[in-house]
Chains A and B, each alone.
Chain A
Amino acid sequence: MFEKLIFQSLIGLSFSMYLWLLAAGLTLVFGVLGVLNFAHGSLFMLGAYATFTLYGKLGINFWLSIALSLISVGIIGAILERLFIRRIYDIDLAYQLILTFGFILIFDDLVKMIWGGVAMIPPMPHFFEGNLSIFGRPFPIYNVFIIFAGIAVAIALWLILEKTWWGRMIRASASDREMASAIGINIPILFTTVFVFAAMLAALGGALGTPVRVVAPGIGTAMIIQAFVITVIGGLGNLKGAFVGALIVGILTSFGILLFPVFELFIIFVVMAIVLMVKPEGLFGK
């Protein structure tokens, strides 16, 4: 029983990491720019498609494909921020959601137009093939890699925000935009870099999923709601909360599939709703 518990948690943990990569950028953009970005899931999807094309179709090296995908989605993010997101910093939440929802429609259809609507899974890179044996059950090596990658990103994010000059500027402008601007931080440029960074995190999530998860239009919209609620559960703009929230939702999902295969999705939303009702400011909110 205990072994089963651990094993199932590990499966959940690997799913958590995709959610975490998505939620991290979402919460960062909200915390710093004050924009709730529905289209963040689309950036995740674009990352997956880019890697699929480069690695799955063109046969480029796996790591190089991921790097190139991050760069291209980063560029798309920069264009998005410069031309559109920048104009909606201070407007009502409803309009922010609808504008970014417009981009979901655009990206979803664009992807259908370019790649077609068929679901696709590219082959696994050969150095990740095979399974580890955990309590006598096969556990894919790739999932182990995902778990470590997710944790590595978490540590890197923490180091960047706490230790680097850029991170300090981000924290300063997140807590007081005007004051930060007054002491000479170039807010518009900083915001663009934050948005690009968040876009690349989402793209990384999508890219890492390509060898094991289905690449299809709509994978962004399927994930974004869970990522949304994770950021709210964790406390809006709170990275630590987003990480813990992603763990909770990911592990819950894997147990839900095992124990209540029919109502797995339902249970996740019940838990999310309970947290929202009891502690709306989030588990780690102020």
Chain B
Amino acid sequence: MTKLKTILLAGLILFLLFLPTFAGKYLLYMTIHILILSVFALGFNLLLGYTGLLSFGQAGFFAMGAYASAKILLVFPSLLAGMVAGMVAGGIAALILGYLCVRHTRIYFSMLTLCFGMMIYSIAWKWRDVTGGDDGLVGIPRAPFQIPGVFSINMESMGNYYYFVLIISLIAIYVLYRIVNSPFGLTLKGIRDSENRVAFAGISIRNYRLLSFTLAGLYAGLAGSFVPPLENTVTPPLAHWTQSAEPVMVTLLGGIHTFSGPIVGSILFYLIKDIIVRYTQYWLIWFGSIVVFLVLVFRGGIVIFFTERIWPLLKSASEK
């Protein structure tokens, strides 16, 4: 990492840490959503950008995490328990379904994940006894962050909950950063670029893909588990395939071949949404147009566009 990048990163983290001191409730709420989408999309990009597999069913795991966390919170009010339940649910579901999916690649992988995602959607929608059907689960408490008998921090205020999501997200992002830069991450990239060569090196491609898929599911579950305490409800549309398109979209917006791409994409997504919604309720027309434009013009993603085009320009200008 260059010196400048470190300074930028430190600045961003400091900004996020001090945000509640001057920001209103709405901004905190939006930032939590950005963090949720970032974690979700980063996990997804481990699959797309690093392993070369396009999953169109990630919302299924996201919803698994959300429902599992909601279920736990309804009976046992501990934020930590809900979070762990969400991660475990997303991870285990991804492990099982991934075992069936990773035998296939390209379009067949995408279609298979799409199918499994929609299966989870149909369960959430129809299994009324457990999931509440199309009403979803309601009245989920924003439970305190506690280990009974040891400590307990109230999470009722938006500021406190913001810190919870922020710190867990930062840890999750750091862990993922270490993962993609580890030998494991390099192997995944190797599989993406040349499946045969990696196989000839004696590496089980399937196992690596499965692990990558499981991690992506785990991150989706974690991101999902942040939703119920924030919104106090979970509903089936969380699992719908159009929701699966969200991480795909923000990842492509930000750029798939950079680690920070999904984060930048998530920020842009909410920023664009927030600005357009002020002027028209039909914001999707404009957002759709932006997506089309970006695919046609900035296919590498915003981050690459910035680092490869704008950055050298600024550099050469300052050197003169």
Q: What residues make up the interface of A, taking CB atoms closer than 8 Å to B?
A: 36, 84, 87-88, 91, 93-95, 97-99, 101-106, 108-110, 112-113, 221, 225, 228-229, 232, 236, 262-263, 265-266, 269-270, 272-273, 276-277, 280
Residue of A nearest to B49 (CB): A94
- CB of B178 closer than 8 Å to a CB of A: no
Q: Is there contact, CB below 8 Å, between B285 and A113? A: yes
- Per DSSP, are chain A's interface residues mostly helix, strand or loop, or mixed? helix
Residue contact B291 to A98, C-beta cutoff 8 Å = yes
In the bound complex, what is the Cα–Cα distance between A110 and B284 (angstroms)? 9
Q: Given the complex, which residues of A lie within 8 Å of B31, measured CB to CB?
A: none
- Residue numbers in B under 8 Å from A105 (CB-CB): 284-285, 287-288, 291
Interface on B for A, CB 8 Å cutoff? 48, 54, 56, 100, 103-104, 106-108, 110-112, 114-116, 118-119, 122-123, 125-127, 241-242, 245, 248-249, 252, 256, 282-285, 287-292, 295-296, 299
Contact assessment for A109 and B285 in the assembled complex, using a CB-CB cutoff below 8 Å: yes
CA distance A276 to B112 in the complex (A): 7
* Chain B residues within an 8 Å CB radius of A277: 100, 103-104, 112
A2 to B4, CA, bound (A): 76
Minimum CB distance partner of B108 in chain A: A280
Nearest CB of B to A260, in Å: 10
* Set A84, A97, A113: member contacting B282, Cβ < 8 A: A113
> Contacts A102-B295, A113-B285: A93 and B110 contacting too (C-beta < 8 A)?
yes
Given contacts A94-B248, A108-B284, A232-B107, A273 and B119 within 8 Å (CB-CB): yes
Partner of A232, one of B111, B119, B290, B291: B111
With both beta carbons as reference points, the residue of chain A lying nearest to B56 in the complex is identified as A97
Min CB gap A46→B, angstroms: 14
Instruction: Let me know if B108 and A102 touch, CB within 8 A.
Output: no
* A106 lies within 8 A of B295 (CB): no
Please name all residues of chain B whose beta carbon is closer than 8 Å to the beta carbon of A280 when the two chains form the complex. 104, 108
**Residues of chain B contacted by A228 (CB below 8 angstroms):** 111, 114
A263 to chain B, nearest CB (A): 6
Q: How many A-B residue pairs have CB under 8 A?
A: 116
**Complex contacts, B122 vs chain A, CB 8 Å:** 263, 265-266, 269
Enumerate 20 A-B pairs (CB-CB under 8 Å) in ascending A order: A84-B292, A93-B54, A93-B106, A93-B110, A94-B252, A97-B248, A98-B245, A98-B248, A102-B291, A102-B292, A106-B284, A113-B282, A225-B241, A229-B114, A266-B119, A266-B123, A266-B126, A269-B115, A269-B119, A280-B104
**Is B292 within 8 A of A99, CB to CB?**
yes
Q: Which residues of A contact B288 (CB under 8 A)?
A: 102-106, 109
Q: Across the interface, which residues of B come within 8 angstroms of A232, CB to CB?
A: 107-108, 111
Distance, CA A109 to CA B281, complexed state (A)? 9
Tell which of A262, A265, A276 touches B118, judged by Cβ atoms closer than 8 Å: A265
Distance in angstroms from B91 CB to nearest chain A CB is 20
CA distance A225 to B111 in the complex (A): 9
Least distance between B60 CB and chain A CB atoms (Å): 11
CB distance B299 to A91 under 8 Å?
Answer: yes
Are B292 and A265 within 8 A (Cβ)?
Answer: no
Distance between A255 CB and nearest chain B CB, rounded to angstroms: 16
Q: Considering the chains assembled together, what is the distance between the CA atoms of A270 and B120 in angstroms? A: 11
Is B248 within 8 A of A262, CB to CB? no
